[in-house]
Amino acid sequence: MTNDPNWRLPVVPGFELSSPEVKPGDYLPLWARASGAGGEDRSPTLSWSGAPAGTKSFVVTVYDPDAPTGSGYWHWAVHDIPASVTALPADAGNPDAGLLPEGAITIANESRAERFEGAGPPPGDGEHRYVFTVSALDVEHLALPAGCTPAVLGFVMRNAVIGRAQLIALSATPAEQ
């Protein structure tokens, strides 16, 4: 059975998520890979539309359910994105670029860095899915404990999610020769 990143999440209406650089089911560009995997740790442009009425904020996450960890791997998590925002530019996951909207808060990824971490599946581990998710919430702000993880973010926001948009891309690292 393939790890389903939406398993046991509330069923909510969907809306549209797209990227000019990343098409569903395609491989991520080299620059969206981790710096340790030959990339630049740059997040792609994300645009969304059709969020449900009553949306007061958004959460953006990037998750690899295929990581050989037993619990997947969180690459990026941003909450408190204002409801008026419908896109994030390329490299918004880089805190030095200052491209996130005012009020948006990035929490630490699995590497404990508050930034987008690009794809970097272990060599020879096959294709990994990278699930880009935009969740529409019916609250403006989430009360999260300091230093919380993306998994805690998911738990805290669970009952506030009123819509979800996803884009799934792939990456793989060839076996070392």
Give the chain's end-to-end CA distance (angstroms, integer).
29
Report which secondary-structure segment, H or E, holds 59.
Answer: strand 57-64
**173/176 Cα distance (integer angstroms):** 9
In this prediction the pTM is 0.97
Domain definitions of the chain by residue range: 16-171
**135/77 Cα distance (integer angstroms):** 11
Q: What is the pLDDT of residues 156-172, one digit of tens each?
A: 999 999 999 999 999 99
- Residue 157 carries which DSSP code? H
> What region does 103 belong to: left with phi over 0, alpha with psi -120 to 50, or beta?
left
pLDDT tens for the chain, residues 1 to 177? 478 889 899 999 999 999 999 999 999 999 999 999 999 999 999 999 999 999 999 999 999 999 999 899 999 999 999 999 999 999 999 999 999 999 999 999 999 999 999 999 999 999 999 999 999 999 999 999 999 999 999 999 999 999 999 999 999 999 975
**172/121 Cα distance (integer angstroms):** 6
Write the CA distances from 17 to 38, 134, 140, 153, 169, integer angstroms: 27, 7, 20, 20, 12
> Could you tell me the fold of the domain covering 16-171?
Phosphatidylethanolamine-binding Protein (3.90.280)
Question: What 3-state class would DSSP assign to 158?
Answer: helix
| pLDDT at residue 31 in the model | 98
